[in-house]
């Protein structure tokens, strides 16, 4: 997606448009964004997306109908491919289980929030701004965390809470010792 030089607002509008379409059925997210300041940005965003050849024609922001927004087919292919590919790569690299005192706890369970793997893959990609360089960095942090035994939370927590940021601090500052159960002193 870096090829298109999309801004955060442009990415958000594209994502909200996809969510608001009939096949996803979530127009409430766009409506909330629109009411909370998005309305003033919509015309400029449409113009910018048209200049970048993401959308193919002019749209009236006063009559926004998500199903009628026509995206460039090349853009759509790369959007879907990148989104699914990066999310799938993260999912497959993430450990499936954590052994806790001989019992296995699942780490890749996404069913509490997503109805399909594709939904999760797309969500992850959106969380990182569809940025392949950011994804590459996250994968490096993930692999380091697995090798060093610091990965002890589920994939949903990892993505939603951006746990890679905390793990990066730990990786880049070896003098920081993570708190363990044995190093906690309780004054009684």
Burial of residue 144 (CB within 10 Å: 0-12, 13-18, 19+) is middle
How many whole angstroms separate alpha carbon 80 and alpha carbon 120?
13
DSSP letter at 69? P
Tell me the pTM.
Answer: 0.62
Reference 159, options 139, 183, 181, 186; nearest CA is 139
Structure tokens at 92: 């497959």
d(CA 44, CA 58): 11
Query: What is the per-residue pLDDT across 58-106, written as a single tens digit (0 to 9) for each?
Result: 777 777 788 888 888 888 877 777 778 899 999 999 999 988 888 899 9
DSSP-assigned beta bridge partners for residue 167: none
Dihedral angle sign, alpha carbons of residues 180, 183, 187, 188? positive
Find which of 64-78, 124-138, 148-162, 172-186 is predicted with most confidence, using mean pLDDT. 148-162
Residues 6+ apart with CB under 8 A from 12: 33
Burial class (CB in 10 A: 0-12, 13-18, 19+), 164: buried
The whole-angstrom separation of Cα 146 and Cα 181 is 19
* pLDDT per residue as tens digits for the range 120-137: 998 898 888 777 889 999
For residue 185, pLDDT over 50 is answered with no
| Coil vs helix vs strand at 23 | coil
Please tell me whether residue 187 adopts helix, strand or coil conformation: coil
């Amino acid at each position: 997606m870096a090829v298109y030089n999309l801004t955060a607002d442009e990415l958000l509008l594209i994502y909200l448009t996809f969510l608001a379409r009939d096949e996803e059925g979530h127009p409430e997210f766009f409506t909330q964004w629109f009411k909370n300041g998005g309305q003033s940005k919509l015309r400029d965003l449409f113009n910018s997306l048209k200049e970048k050849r993401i959308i193919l024609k002019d749209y009236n922001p006063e009559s926004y109908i998500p199903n009628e927004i026509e995206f460039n087919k090349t853009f759509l292919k790369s959007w879907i491919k990148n989104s699914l590919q990066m999310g799938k790569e993260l999912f497959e690299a993430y450990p499936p289980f954590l052994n806790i005192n001989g019992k296995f706890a699942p780490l890749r369970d996404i069913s509490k929030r997503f109805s399909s793997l594709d939904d999760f893959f797309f969500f992850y990609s959106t969380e990182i701004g569809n940025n392949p360089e950011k994804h590459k960095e996250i994968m490096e942090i993930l692999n380091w965390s697995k090798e060093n035994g610091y990965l002890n939370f589920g994939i949903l927590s990892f993505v939603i809470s951006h746990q890679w940021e905390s793990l990066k601090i730990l990786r880049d500052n070896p003098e920081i010792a993570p708190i363990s159960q044995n190093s906690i002193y309780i004054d009684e």
